[in-house]
Amino acid sequence: QNIWESPVFIPIESIGDGARKLSAIQRNWHLHSEEHHRRAALIQEKLPHVSEKPLRFGDPAPTAPLGSWTLWEPGLILASARCSSPFPDGEVRFHENKIDPPSRAYLKLWETFTLLPKRPGPGDLCLDLGSAPGGWTWVLASLGAQVFSIDKAHLAPQVEAMPGVTHCIGSGFALDPRHAGAVDWLFSDMICYPDRLYEVITRWIALGSCRNFVCTLKFQAETDHITAAKFAAIPGSRVMHLSCNKHELTWVRLEATPDQLS
C-alpha cells in the first residue's frame, strides 16, 4: 500500500523540536503511530493540518507530497519525506455507493482507476471474467464502456439491465481469445489460483488481442510469491496491494502511450 522510500532517523529534544524538524523538511506529514502514541500525537498536532476527507470517485489523487513518520523512541523520529502513495498509509477512502453496486468489490476498481493514468470509457469494449454478481461490471458500465461479462451465475438484475452490458452464462476460463476477438480491456476478479489465471492471461497477451489488463491475484492460505513474481515480470506490468485488497494483489498491464514509446 505505501512504501517509505527515503527513511531517516531524526533525533529530537522535545515535542516542539520534533515538529520543527519535520516542518523544515516539507509541509505535509502523516503520523503512522506504533509506539509512544500520546507524545507522537502532540507532535502531529503542531504540524500543518492535512485533509483526509474521503474522495468522490472521479476526483484525482492528491499531488502534494505526503511524508510519513513515526516516533521510534521518545527522542527519535523515523520519517520518510518520499512515499509510494499520496494517501495516508496508502489507504484510499471513498464516499461509498451503498445502493447500486451488488457487492463491495467495486471499490477495488475505484481505487485502481484513481491510481492509474487512464480508465475505460465510451467506445471501449471491456471483458469481465467471472463477473457475478457484477460489482466490476457495474463500475465499467457506469463509465460508459461496453461490457461483455462472463460467469456461471447471473449478474444482479440491476447490473444486467444497465446500458452496454451483455452477460454470458459460462466459465471465464473457457473463453478462447482466438474466438473472442479484440477487446480494449480485460478484467478478472475471479476466485482462482494465481497460476491458473496466469495461464489465461498469457494466452491473451500472446495473441495480442487485448490492450489493457486489470486482474486480482487471490491467494489461499499461503502467498504464491513465485506466480506473483511471474506476473510482475510481464513487460509493462505493475503489481499493487490496494487498500481494498485483502489476501490479494492487483496486477495491471496498460498499453503504452505514444509518448512512452518515443
Distance, in Å, from the CA atom of 115 to the CA atom of 69, rounded to the nearest integer, reads 23
The CA distance from 3 to 239, in Å, is: 13
The per-residue pLDDT for range 88-111, each reduced to its tens digit, is 999 999 999 999 999 999 999 999
Out of 46, 98, 218, 246, the active site residue is: 218
pLDDT digits 0-9 by tens, 20-61: 999 999 999 999 999 999 999 999 999 999 988 999 999 999
Rounded to two decimals, the pTM is: 0.91
pLDDT value of residue 21 = 98
Whether residue 218 lies in the annotated active site: yes
Predicted confidence (pLDDT) per residue in 186-217, tens digit: 999 999 999 999 999 999 999 998 999 999 99
Torsion angle (degrees, nearest 10) of CA 127, 144, 252, 235:
80
C-beta separation of 191 from 218 below 8 A = yes
User: What is 240-261 written as a DSSP string?
Assistant: E--TT-SSEEEEEE-PPPHHHH
Determine if residue 214 is left, alpha or beta; phi over 0 gives left, psi from -120 to 50 gives alpha, anything else beta.
beta
Task: List, in order of start, the domains of the chain with CATH numbers.
Answer: 7-90 (no CATH), 106-261 (3.40.50.150)
Cell 513518520 -> residue: 69
Rounded CA-CA distance 152/132 in Å is 8
Q: How far apart are the first and last CA of the chain?
A: 31
Residue 51 is placed in which grid cell? 485533509
3-state SS, residue 212: strand
Contact by Cβ (8 Å): 126, 72: no
